[in-house]
Amino acid sequence: MSTLRFSIIQTSLFWEDKGANLDLLGQKIMGINEPTEIIVLPEMFNTGFSMQPEKFAETMDGPSVDWMRRMSAATKSIITGSLMISENGKYYNRLIWMLPNGQCGVYDKRHLFAFAGEDQHYTPGNKRLIASVKGWKINLQICYDLRFPVWARQELAQVSDKRKKVDTFNENAVSSTLVTEYDVLLYVANWPEKRSHAWKTLLTARAIENQCFTIGVNRVGLDGNNIAHSGNSMIVGPLGEVLYHCAYEEAVFHISLQKEEIDNTRSKFPFWKDADFFHIQ
């Protein structure tokens, strides 16, 4: 049975103070005393949800990405979270998937929050990142992406074997197996308290419709715009059952997820056979 261990950090953030945030998060990360494989930080973990990338964005060779690299190596764990990145004259709200060997994957936030002017400062991404760990597949997304189910929807592959007869009256019948893209859907966020009901509801919906574990990691406290964040970080199982929920408090939570639970759910409730086939460009 394949097990994957996550540590999620729900924390307040210092407004646009990268040094203070990295010190704070470094203490929390190094204070993890039990084995873990993936440590999850909130969206824009080094600044808060700021619309000033001109002042605070860094390159992929900058100090914040280097900090992630050092923290990952020190803990021998994957570390992920988003921050402002400057690249080729553009700014991105970029999730970094940092491996202990110093290599990393990146996902640029696809859906920019125009309600707060995010689309005026950042460039949207155009492709998803599905990471692979120990035979698990993890779909990595950021905050506002949660409101767009097509972007998260499992894209099915149909594997056929024409050598098998499914119907004795049709020797050309095809035996098909539906293969899903991922097992865990992960969101890092700065989601405001006033819309926390939507956050909790949509996290549960994404888990149920994709028959996957869904993890949402949010911040707490007031930001520099006096917007309150209640956390409500959650881990939801493939049947929509809430495995973890924490509101308002700073917390570091550890959980071991079982691959067998995903496999059993999809086998017992094979809703995929009725799904629509499509392709996300």
Residue 226 CA: distances (Å) to CA of 8, 38, 45, 48, 146 = 25, 31, 17, 12, 23
Q: Per the residue annotation, which of 18, 37, 43, 212 is the catalytic one?
A: 43
All domains of the chain, ordered by start, with CATH? 3-274 (3.60.110.10)
Q: Per the residue annotation, which of 18, 37, 104, 143 is the catalytic one?
A: 143
Residue 168 CA: distances (Å) to CA of 130, 161, 163, 174 = 40, 15, 13, 12
> What is the reported pLDDT for 99?
98
Q: pLDDT (tens digit, 9 = 90+) per residue, 181-214?
A: 999 999 999 999 999 999 999 999 999 999 999 9
Q: pLDDT (tens digit, 9 = 90+) per residue, 159-176?
A: 544 433 333 333 343 334
Cα(58)–Cα(64) distance, integer angstroms: 8
> What is the reported pLDDT for 273?
83
pLDDT-derived band of residue 275, with 50, 70 and 90 as boundaries?
A: confident
Q: Per the residue annotation, which of 18, 109, 118, 181 is the catalytic one?
A: 109
Q: pLDDT (tens digit, 9 = 90+) per residue, 229-251?
A: 999 999 999 999 999 999 999 99
- In this structure, are residues 71 and 52 in contact, taking their beta carbons and an 8 Å threshold? no
In this prediction, what percent of the chain has a pLDDT beyond 90? 86
What pTM did the predictor assign? 0.92
> What is the reported pLDDT for 281?
66
Tokens representing residue 276 in the block: 């629509």
Q: Is 109 a catalytic residue?
A: yes
Cα(49)–Cα(56) distance, integer angstroms: 11
